[in-house]
Protein backbone atom coordinates (compact mmCIF):
# COMPACT_ATOMS: atom_id res chain seq x y z
CA UNK A 1 0.00 0.00 0.00
CA UNK A 2 2.81 2.36 0.90
CA UNK A 3 4.57 1.54 -2.35
CA UNK A 4 1.40 2.30 -4.30
CA UNK A 5 1.03 5.68 -2.61
CA UNK A 6 4.72 6.43 -3.24
CA UNK A 7 4.50 5.65 -6.98
CA UNK A 8 1.27 7.66 -7.24
CA UNK A 9 3.01 10.66 -5.69
CA UNK A 10 5.94 10.36 -8.10
CA UNK A 11 3.56 10.12 -11.07
CA UNK A 12 1.68 13.23 -9.94
CA UNK A 13 4.88 15.25 -9.54
CA UNK A 14 6.08 14.12 -12.97
CA UNK A 15 2.83 15.19 -14.66
CA UNK A 16 2.88 18.60 -12.91
CA UNK A 17 6.47 19.14 -14.00
CA UNK A 18 5.63 18.37 -17.64
CA UNK A 19 2.66 20.72 -17.54
CA UNK A 20 4.80 23.58 -16.23
CA UNK A 21 7.35 22.97 -18.95
CA UNK A 22 4.65 23.12 -21.62
CA UNK A 23 3.36 26.56 -20.59
CA UNK A 24 6.80 28.07 -19.93
CA UNK A 25 7.64 30.79 -22.50
CA UNK A 26 11.21 31.92 -23.12
CA UNK A 27 11.57 34.74 -25.63
CA UNK A 28 14.72 34.14 -27.68
CA UNK A 29 16.27 35.94 -30.65
CA UNK A 30 14.25 33.89 -33.13
CA UNK A 31 10.97 34.89 -31.50
CA UNK A 32 12.05 38.54 -31.49
CA UNK A 33 12.87 38.33 -35.21
CA UNK A 34 9.52 36.71 -35.97
CA UNK A 35 7.59 39.45 -34.14
CA UNK A 36 9.76 42.12 -35.77
CA UNK A 37 9.00 40.82 -39.28
CA UNK A 38 5.30 40.47 -38.48
CA UNK A 39 5.00 44.13 -37.41
CA UNK A 40 6.82 45.47 -40.48
CA UNK A 41 9.90 47.61 -41.05
CA UNK A 42 8.35 50.98 -41.99
CA UNK A 43 6.94 53.51 -39.55
CA UNK A 44 5.17 56.87 -39.86
CA UNK A 45 4.61 59.07 -36.82
CA UNK A 46 3.31 62.51 -35.97
CA UNK A 47 4.55 64.85 -33.23
CA UNK A 48 1.68 65.96 -31.00
CA UNK A 49 3.36 68.96 -29.30
CA UNK A 50 4.06 70.85 -32.55
CA UNK A 51 0.47 70.47 -33.74
CA UNK A 52 -0.97 71.83 -30.49
CA UNK A 53 1.53 74.59 -29.72
CA UNK A 54 2.74 76.23 -32.98
CA UNK A 55 0.76 74.91 -34.98
CA UNK A 56 3.12 72.95 -37.21
CA UNK A 57 3.23 69.59 -38.95
CA UNK A 58 6.15 67.40 -37.87
CA UNK A 59 6.10 64.04 -39.68
CA UNK A 60 8.77 61.35 -39.27
CA UNK A 61 9.48 58.34 -41.44
CA UNK A 62 11.59 55.61 -39.87
CA UNK A 63 12.96 52.53 -41.60
CA UNK A 64 13.67 49.75 -39.11
CA UNK A 65 16.87 48.24 -40.45
CA UNK A 66 16.89 45.38 -37.93
CA UNK A 67 15.69 44.90 -34.32
CA UNK A 68 18.67 46.90 -33.08
CA UNK A 69 18.94 49.92 -35.41
CA UNK A 70 17.03 52.19 -37.78
CA UNK A 71 17.33 55.32 -39.90
CA UNK A 72 14.94 57.94 -41.22
CA UNK A 73 14.11 61.63 -41.44
CA UNK A 74 11.73 64.18 -39.90
CA UNK A 75 10.00 66.84 -42.01
CA UNK A 76 8.83 70.01 -40.21
CA UNK A 77 6.37 72.44 -41.83
CA UNK A 78 5.39 75.55 -39.85
CA UNK A 79 1.84 76.73 -40.46
CA UNK A 80 1.90 79.44 -37.78
CA UNK A 81 2.05 83.22 -38.16
CA UNK A 82 5.47 84.78 -37.53
CA UNK A 83 3.93 87.99 -36.17
CA UNK A 84 2.17 86.12 -33.38
CA UNK A 85 5.21 84.09 -32.37
CA UNK A 86 6.62 84.97 -28.95
CA UNK A 87 10.22 84.58 -30.11
CA UNK A 88 12.16 86.62 -32.66
CA UNK A 89 13.07 83.67 -34.87
CA UNK A 90 10.93 80.99 -36.50
CA UNK A 91 11.70 77.77 -38.35
CA UNK A 92 9.52 77.58 -41.45
CA UNK A 93 10.86 74.35 -42.93
CA UNK A 94 13.38 71.78 -41.74
CA UNK A 95 14.59 68.31 -42.65
CA UNK A 96 16.32 66.18 -40.01
CA UNK A 97 17.90 62.87 -41.06
CA UNK A 98 18.85 60.53 -38.19
CA UNK A 99 20.35 57.16 -37.36
CA UNK A 100 19.12 55.34 -34.27
CA UNK A 101 20.36 52.51 -32.01
CA UNK A 102 17.89 50.48 -29.91
CA UNK A 103 18.71 48.87 -26.57
CA UNK A 104 15.57 46.81 -25.91
CA UNK A 105 15.02 43.98 -23.44
CA UNK A 106 13.30 40.63 -23.89
CA UNK A 107 9.79 42.03 -23.40
CA UNK A 108 10.18 44.33 -26.42
CA UNK A 109 9.69 43.37 -30.05
CA UNK A 110 12.71 44.97 -31.68
CA UNK A 111 12.81 48.50 -33.08
CA UNK A 112 11.37 49.63 -29.74
CA UNK A 113 12.51 50.31 -26.19
CA UNK A 114 15.26 52.71 -25.09
CA UNK A 115 17.21 54.31 -27.95
CA UNK A 116 19.98 56.77 -28.75
CA UNK A 117 20.28 58.62 -32.04
CA UNK A 118 22.50 61.02 -33.93
CA UNK A 119 20.97 63.58 -36.28
CA UNK A 120 21.69 66.57 -38.51
CA UNK A 121 19.05 69.26 -38.88
CA UNK A 122 18.81 71.40 -42.04
CA UNK A 123 16.52 74.34 -41.29
CA UNK A 124 15.16 77.35 -43.14
CA UNK A 125 13.22 80.22 -41.56
CA UNK A 126 13.08 83.89 -40.65
CA UNK A 127 14.71 85.76 -37.78
CA UNK A 128 15.35 89.28 -36.49
CA UNK A 129 18.80 90.72 -37.14
CA UNK A 130 20.09 93.75 -35.23
CA UNK A 131 22.39 96.15 -37.07
CA UNK A 132 24.24 98.27 -34.54
CA UNK A 133 25.96 101.22 -36.23
CA UNK A 134 28.35 103.51 -34.39
CA UNK A 135 30.45 106.45 -35.52
CA UNK A 136 33.73 107.25 -33.80
CA UNK A 137 33.95 110.78 -35.28
CA UNK A 138 30.42 111.99 -34.56
CA UNK A 139 29.84 109.87 -31.49
CA UNK A 140 26.35 108.96 -32.69
CA UNK A 141 24.97 105.48 -32.99
CA UNK A 142 21.69 103.73 -33.75
CA UNK A 143 20.19 100.23 -33.95
CA UNK A 144 18.26 98.93 -36.94
CA UNK A 145 16.28 95.66 -36.70
CA UNK A 146 15.35 93.76 -39.84
CA UNK A 147 13.63 90.44 -40.42
CA UNK A 148 15.66 88.20 -42.73
CA UNK A 149 15.69 84.64 -44.02
CA UNK A 150 18.20 82.15 -42.68
CA UNK A 151 19.52 78.69 -43.47
CA UNK A 152 21.46 76.66 -40.93
CA UNK A 153 22.81 73.20 -40.18
CA UNK A 154 22.84 71.65 -36.72
CA UNK A 155 24.30 68.23 -35.80
CA UNK A 156 23.28 66.71 -32.49
CA UNK A 157 22.19 63.66 -30.48
CA UNK A 158 19.02 62.46 -28.72
CA UNK A 159 17.81 59.74 -26.38
CA UNK A 160 14.29 58.45 -25.87
CA UNK A 161 11.89 55.59 -25.33
CA UNK A 162 9.45 53.93 -27.72
CA UNK A 163 6.57 51.59 -26.96
CA UNK A 164 4.81 49.41 -29.51
CA UNK A 165 1.85 47.03 -29.25
CA UNK A 166 1.09 43.93 -31.28
CA UNK A 167 -1.15 45.95 -33.60
CA UNK A 168 1.83 48.06 -34.66
CA UNK A 169 0.82 51.33 -32.95
CA UNK A 170 3.72 53.21 -31.39
CA UNK A 171 4.18 55.95 -28.81
CA UNK A 172 7.50 57.73 -28.41
CA UNK A 173 9.10 60.37 -26.19
CA UNK A 174 12.53 61.84 -26.89
CA UNK A 175 14.82 64.73 -26.03
CA UNK A 176 18.12 65.91 -27.49
CA UNK A 177 20.38 68.86 -28.22
CA UNK A 178 22.32 70.15 -31.20
CA UNK A 179 24.37 73.16 -32.23
CA UNK A 180 23.89 75.49 -35.18
CA UNK A 181 27.02 75.86 -37.29
CA UNK A 182 26.25 78.99 -39.33
CA UNK A 183 24.75 81.30 -36.68
CA UNK A 184 27.50 83.84 -36.01
CA UNK A 185 27.57 87.51 -35.13
CA UNK A 186 29.69 89.83 -37.27
CA UNK A 187 31.78 92.89 -36.52
CA UNK A 188 33.08 95.20 -39.26
CA UNK A 189 35.43 97.77 -37.74
CA UNK A 190 35.96 99.58 -41.07
CA UNK A 191 32.30 100.52 -41.41
CA UNK A 192 31.57 100.74 -37.71
CA UNK A 193 28.79 98.14 -37.87
CA UNK A 194 28.03 95.14 -35.68
CA UNK A 195 25.46 92.53 -36.67
CA UNK A 196 23.70 90.42 -34.04
CA UNK A 197 21.53 87.41 -34.83
CA UNK A 198 18.65 86.79 -32.44
CA UNK A 199 18.67 83.05 -33.04
CA UNK A 200 20.09 80.73 -30.35
CA UNK A 201 23.32 78.85 -30.94
CA UNK A 202 21.85 75.58 -29.64
CA UNK A 203 18.67 73.71 -30.52
CA UNK A 204 16.43 71.34 -28.60
CA UNK A 205 15.00 68.32 -30.42
CA UNK A 206 12.29 66.17 -28.92
CA UNK A 207 8.59 65.64 -28.42
CA UNK A 208 5.75 63.20 -28.01
CA UNK A 209 4.90 61.19 -31.12
CA UNK A 210 2.29 58.63 -32.04
CA UNK A 211 2.76 56.40 -35.08
CA UNK A 212 2.04 53.20 -36.94
CA UNK A 213 4.37 50.38 -37.98
CA UNK A 214 3.61 48.70 -41.31
Q: Is the Cα dihedral 21, 23, 24, 30 positive or negative?
A: positive
Q: Residue 81: what pLDDT?
A: 62
Q: Which stretches in the chain have pLDDT values below 70?
A: 1-36, 81-87, 106-109, 134-142, 186-193
Q: Residue 188: what pLDDT?
A: 60
68 closest CA partner among 118, 112, 117: 112
Q: Where are the domains of the chain?
A: 27-124+150-181+201-213
Q: Residue 63: what pLDDT?
A: 96
For domain 27-124+150-181+201-213, is the CATH number 2.40.50?
A: no
Measure the CA–CA gap between 35 and 169, rounded to whole angstroms.
14
The H or E element spanning position 78 is strand 69-78
Whole-model pTM: value is 0.74
Q: Residue 42: what pLDDT?
A: 95
In 10 A of CB 89, how many CB atoms?
18
Amino acid sequence: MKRLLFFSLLLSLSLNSQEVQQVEVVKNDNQISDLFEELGQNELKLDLIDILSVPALDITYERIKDPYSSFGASLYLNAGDNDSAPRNWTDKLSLTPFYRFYFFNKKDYGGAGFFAEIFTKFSYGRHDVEYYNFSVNSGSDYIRIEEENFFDIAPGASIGQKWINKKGWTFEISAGVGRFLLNKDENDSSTGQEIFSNRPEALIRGGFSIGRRF
